[in-house]
């Protein structure tokens, strides 16, 4: 068992929820994770995270989505924890190298997405170029509401798994 996981397992339920909250951004998810302790290893942690995530309401998903900055922007929302904001900046670091025209198209696409779906466009940006993300955004703008909600939730699940891995490394 990792040192981080061992220490987390020993915290009070309230402390454990606050400690893991930056990995997802949903209070209900963090509470659900804390209630599942003790967890033995990274695989058990990721499996529990997926299970808790899938059991949340749409409102609780929206809370997690709202903790992310717009793709291509560095400023995190006020609801984001310091750690979540730092991870978002890391996850989007490749965006800075993008072409200005692509960045402008992405900003316009973000606005269109928010008008259409009423939430921030969420994509697991790790390892993706600005052009790839723009293509994904354009494709997802063609989704119906239900399909898009499922895609956004799956992207959040991927982001959470990456952040949990970082969290375990300390």
122-135 confidence digits (pLDDT tens)? 999 888 989 999 99
pTM of the model: 0.87
Buried b / exposed e over 23-46, threshold 16 CB at 10 Å, is bbbbebbbbbbbebbebeebeebb
Catalytic residues: 68
Q: Looking at the domain that runs over 3-169, which CATH code has it been given?
A: 1.10.3330.10
Q: Where are the domains of the chain?
A: 3-169
> How many C-beta neighbours within 10 Å does residue 133 have?
23
- How far apart, in whole angstroms, are the C-alpha atoms of residue 16 and residue 52? 15
Model pLDDT for residues 133-145, shown as the tens digit of each residue: 999 999 999 999 9
Average per-residue pLDDT for the chain: 90
Residue 96: band (very low, low, confident or very high) from pLDDT cuts 50, 70, 90: low
User: In this predicted model, what pLDDT tens digit does every residue of 48-90 receive, in sequence order?
Assistant: 999 999 999 999 999 999 998 888 776 655 666 666 656 665 6
């Amino acid at each position: 068992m990792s040192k981080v996981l061992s220490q987390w397992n020993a915290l009070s339920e309230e402390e454990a929820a606050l400690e893991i909250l930056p990995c997802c951004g949903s209070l209900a998810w963090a509470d659900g994770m804390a209630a599942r302790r003790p967890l033995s290893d990274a695989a058990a942690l990721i499996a529990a995270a997926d299970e808790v995530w899938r059991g949340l309401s749409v409102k609780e998903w929206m809370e997690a989505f709202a903790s992310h900055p717009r793709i291509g922007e560095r400023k995190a929302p006020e609801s984001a924890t310091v750690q979540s904001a730092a991870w978002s900046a890391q996850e989007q670091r490749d965006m800075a190298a993008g072409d200005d025209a692509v960045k402008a198209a992405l900003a316009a696409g973000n606005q269109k997405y928010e008008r259409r779906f009423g939430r921030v466009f969420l994509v697991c940006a790790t390892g993706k170029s600005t052009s790839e993300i723009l293509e994904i955004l354009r494709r997802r703008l063609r989704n119906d509401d239900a399909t898009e909600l499922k895609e956004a939730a799956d992207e959040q699940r991927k982001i959470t798994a990456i952040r949990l891995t970082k969290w375990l490394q300390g």
